[in-house]
Structure 1
Amino acid sequence: MKRFANRFSSRLLFSGLLILLFLVTLAGCGKEKGKAPVGGEKGAAGNTIRIGVAGAHSGDLASYGLPTVKAAELVVKDINAKGGILGKKVELIVEDDVCKPEMAANTAAKLVSAKVDAVIGHICSGATKAAIGIYKDAGIVAISPSATNPELTQSGQYPNFFRTIAPDDAQAKMEVDFAINRLNARRIAILHDKGDYGKGLAEYAKKFVETSGTAQVVLFEGVTPGAVDYSAVVQKIKGANADAVIYGGYHPEASSIVMQMRKKGMKTPFLSDDGVKDITFIKVAGSFAEGVYATGPRDTSANPLTIAATEAHKKAYGSDPGAFFLNAYAATQALLHAIEKAGSPDYEKVKAALRSQEVETPLGKIHFDEKGEAVGVGFAMYQVKNGVFSEVK
């Protein structure tokens, strides 16, 4: 009997423990008072205003994306030191899309799940195009410092999209005009990397050449990104007797093409875009980069805000800023200024504030038009001289 009683008591104790464990687990599954559900409420509904920063933070094009992260960090650090926005601190949620459309869609989904109030990015046009519709459906504004594909604004499909850089049609027009009027080119070869950004720019360049009345396109061809050998297309440029090359795309392919052209003794002027106007192009191409032209954002180095932002970068990171840093700095300032003027991160109110409220930035005093373009922002032509890009006056 004693043995039976002990076994019975043990069973009662074990059953009691199971019931207690079940009740604790059940309580844990319920929403705690005052806490947001899993995933969190949208930033401003909680304790912070959450801003996503999306772009290439690794891979070949990280030199385009990482400066945007640093720009956003510096602006937010300054604003938080002054008390934040609307009485709330600003929090950055950084996500890497490697500048690939298939990754960008996943990145956008992550930021939506993180309940961000707005996004700085993306960096590349193809990645931006893949992500921007996801933000639109979620009622999230996105401002890119570098996505230049014209359709992003001109199609009217993305009322939530803004940018602090001019579109590719303006960039392509400058390149064509420069090739024809300054370099006296009459036979122009146009290459691209088959992507939304590079091909789009090349198609605009082709149209401008064909309607110029003084020059012709002697070669229009796409190249494969990441290829080791571009000798076939280099030979086509030579065979077409081109007296200028316009390339739409990014620095990895541009540096390879230029190097192979110069090694073959071809001195044909090479013009490209803001996807090439980056110190990484010069580092990779080395001495072969000398003389290459590329369009990029206008030089605002004399602007006191540019000087201050550049010095802040040097102090914080021990180096000069990289590509699109100033555009990203301006984008972050404009976005947070709009949220403050709107009185909340409300989607419609922030869009209206971006279009109506001017803000002082390193790019100058800017606001946005109905399409999302930054008013007063444009391009300039640069040339590599003595290992650096210098503006061509």
Structure 2
Amino acid sequence: MQIHHSRKKHFTAWILVLAMVLAGSVLMSCGEAEKPAETAKEAPAKATEPIRMGVAGPHSGDLASYGIPTVKAAELVVEQRNASGGIAGRKIELVVEDDVCKPEIATNTATKLVADEVDVVLGHICSGATKAALGIYKESKIPVMSPSATNPGLTQSGDYPNFFRTIASDDAQARLEVDFALAKLNLKKIAVLHDKGDYGKGLAEFAKSFLEQDARGEVVLYEGITPGAVDYSAVVQKIKNSGADGVIFGGYHPEASKIVTAMRKKGMDTFFISDDGVKDDTFIKVAKEYAEGVYATGPVDTTQNPMAVEAIERHRKKYGEDPGAFFLNAYAAAVALLNAIEKSNATDFDSVTNALRTEFVGTPLGILRFDERGDAIGVGFAMYQVQKGQYVEIK
């Protein structure tokens, strides 16, 4: 009897185990059967979700005149795209964030845009802010395209495979400034100034290097200034004492306008050559009559390009004024980003960045494609001068 009872217990245990195995198989089968249903629900949802474009730059503060035109460019491009059905039936949404052109704020801006799950970013505007934010986007595999960040290392270092731009880099800009100073203006002694930032100092270092390699001229002063200072009379006196017949300045219009004004009030007729950070109407408005004759490099004028003509006209119609700094570069960047999404029929990093490097796209700057480093092929700089209160390209 004892043995019989034991067998009965074993038999009952095996029945229970078998029942549990069968129940588990049924549950697993049910779970597997449900998964395609979940995927099927997700696919149509993704296909109808809006494509989100972040727009980052200075929308307040002293350098807002550089950032606001990019927002307006994005609005016009997206408005036109959405009016024609968006991309594969998906509408495009803009997520706009202000970085005030400051690196410490740009990191917060980038973090916000990542949290908002943007697919691509148009911006940032200033090189220092761009550099500060790029690592955050890189970690999240988000493509970024700037219309104005010219620091060479942003593309040439290879550190940021997610970065593209629709403007040439500062080494090209500095090369033009030095060649113009030596060959066109026949300057011999040049003071090189900068604002100590990634953009301004980077450009000044290139200018200094090019001058030191050229026997036609010499650097008689190399000086960094403090951005935002009320008075630059001390550095202006240094320029005068150096005997410089020309100044090359790397930086932005708030400082440039103060330096030029102080120079002219001191009776100095020293040539002043600067960069695309100064080629902005705000510089002329602030420096007033003292801006006359100042030289500045900027993107090559493409305003006669049919797409540029249309973009400018649409801007005038919508906003009641001419577009500001880097508008066409920003318009081109927005067009290029959306074209890459359309051509790849995807928003993932690999698909979009591959399309940017392989697909040509018509823009207000011309037909563009981007090289392996992220630089736009075919864009460049020209020299401009303030004549009768406006910048005119020097042919």
**Fold conserved between structures, TM > 0.5:** yes
Alignment of 1:313 with 2:322, yes or no, is: no
Aligned to 1:357: 359
Please state whether the residue corresponding to 1:307 is helix, strand or coil: helix
3-state SS in 1 of match to 2:220: strand
Please tell me whether Structure 1 or Structure 2 has the larger radius of gyration of its CA atoms.
Answer: 2
Whole-Å Cα distance in 2 between the matches of residues 240 and 222 of structure 1? 15
Match of residue 346 from structure 1: 348
Aligned pairs (5 A) from 1:207-286:
207-286=209-288
Aligned-partner SS, 1:217:
strand
Following the alignment from structure 1 to structure 2, what is the Cα–Cα distance between the partners of residues 204 and 333? 31
Are the equivalent residues in 2 in contact too, given 1:44–1:88 (CA < 8 A)?
no
Q: What letter corresponds to residue 265 of structure 1 in structure 2? A: G
Deviation at 1:251, TM superposition (A): 0.1
Report the alpha carbon displacement of residue 203 of structure 1 after superposing the two structures with TM: 0.2
How far off is 1:322 after superposition? 0.1
- Residues 199-214 of structure 1: matches in 2 within 5 Å? 199-214=201-216
- The correspondence of residues 112-151 of structure 1 with structure 2, limited to 5 A, is 112-151=114-153
Equivalent of residue 322 in structure 1, options 300, 324, 337 = 324
Post-superposition CA distance 1:305-354 (Å, at most 9, x none): 11100000000000000000000000000000000001111100100100
d(CA) in 2 for partners of 1:383, 1:83? 43
What is the aligned counterpart of 2:154 among 149, 152, 155? 152
**Residue of structure 2 aligned with 1:57, choices 47, 59, 64:** 59
Alignment partner of 2:227: what SS?
coil
Please list the CA deviations of residues 216-269 of structure 1 after superposition, one character each: whole Å capped at 9, or x if unmatched: 100000001110110000000000000110000000000000000000000000
| Equivalent in the alignment of 2:12 | none
Structure 1 residue 86: Cα displacement? 2.0
Separation in structure 2 between the aligned mates of residue 172 and residue 242 of structure 1, nearest angstrom: 18
Match for residue 7 of structure 1?
none
Q: SS of the counterpart of 1:159? A: coil
Q: Separation in 2 of the partners of 1:275 and 1:181?
A: 23
CA distance in 2, matches of 1:267, 1:50: 50
Return the letter of the residue paired with 2:249.
Y
CA contact (8 A) 1:44 1:344 kept: no
1:137-174 C-alpha deviation (Å, 9 max, x unpaired):
00000000000000000000000000000000000000
* Over 4 Å off, 4+ runs: 43-46
- What CA distance in whole angstroms lies between the structure 2 residues aligned with 1:44 and 1:296? 41
**Equivalent position of 1:93 in the other structure:** 95
Structure with greater proportional helix content:
2
Deviations 1:15-44 (A, max 9, x none): xxxxxxxxxxxxxxxxxxx9xxxxxx9x95
Q: Aligned partners of 1:307, 1:384: CA distance in 2, in Å? A: 23
Q: CA deviation at 1:45?
A: 6.2
Find the residue that maps to 1:172 and give its secondary structure.
Answer: helix
Identity of aligned residues (%): 69
Q: For the Cα contact (< 8 Å) 2:357–2:369, is it kept in 1?
A: yes
Q: Distance in 1 between matches of 2:304 and 2:164?
A: 25
When structure 1 is superposed on structure 2, of 214-223 and 43-52 the one drifting more is 43-52
State the partner residue of 1:167: 169
CA distance 1:346–1:384, shift in 2 (3 Å): same
AA matched with 1:178: F
Equivalent position to 1:74, from 76, 80, 98: 76
What is residue 31 of structure 1 aligned with on the other side? none
Letter in 1 for 2:114: V
Q: Which amino acid aligns with 2:320?
A: G
Code of the residue aligned with 2:72 in structure 1: it is K
Cα separation, 2, equivalents of 1:49 and 1:134: 20
C-alpha distance in 1 between matches for 2:115 and 2:304:
41
Alpha-carbon distance between aligned partners in 2 of 1:246 and 1:354, rounded to the nearest angstrom: 35
What is residue 373 of structure 1 aligned with on the other side? 375
> What is the aligned partner in structure 2 of residue 23 from structure 1?
none
Unaligned 5+ segments in structure 1 are 1-33, 35-40
Task: Report the equivalent of 2:292.
Answer: 290
Cα displacement (A) at 1:214:
1.5
Alignment correspondent of 1:22:
none
Is contact 1:44-1:117 (8 Å) kept?
A: no
What amino acid does structure 1 have at the position aligned with 2:102?
K
Taking the aligned partners of 2:157 and 2:124, their CA distance within structure 1 comes to: 18
Q: TM-score, normalised by structure 1?
A: 0.89
Distance between the aligned counterparts of 2:187 and 2:177, measured in 1? 11
CA distance in 2, matches of 1:84, 1:212: 53
Alignment-derived partner of residue 181 in structure 2: 179
Secondary structure, aligned partner of 1:158: coil
- Tell me if structure 1 keeps the 8 A contact 2:155–2:163: yes
Match of 2:7 in 1: none
SS in 2 for 1:372: coil
Following the alignment from structure 1 to structure 2, what is the Cα–Cα distance between the partners of residues 285 and 141?
38
1:172–1:181: structure 2 CA closer, same or farther, 3 Å change rule?
same
2:47–2:90 CA contact under 8 A, matched in 1 = no
- Aligned AA for 1:288? Y
* Equivalent residue number for residue 29 of structure 1: none
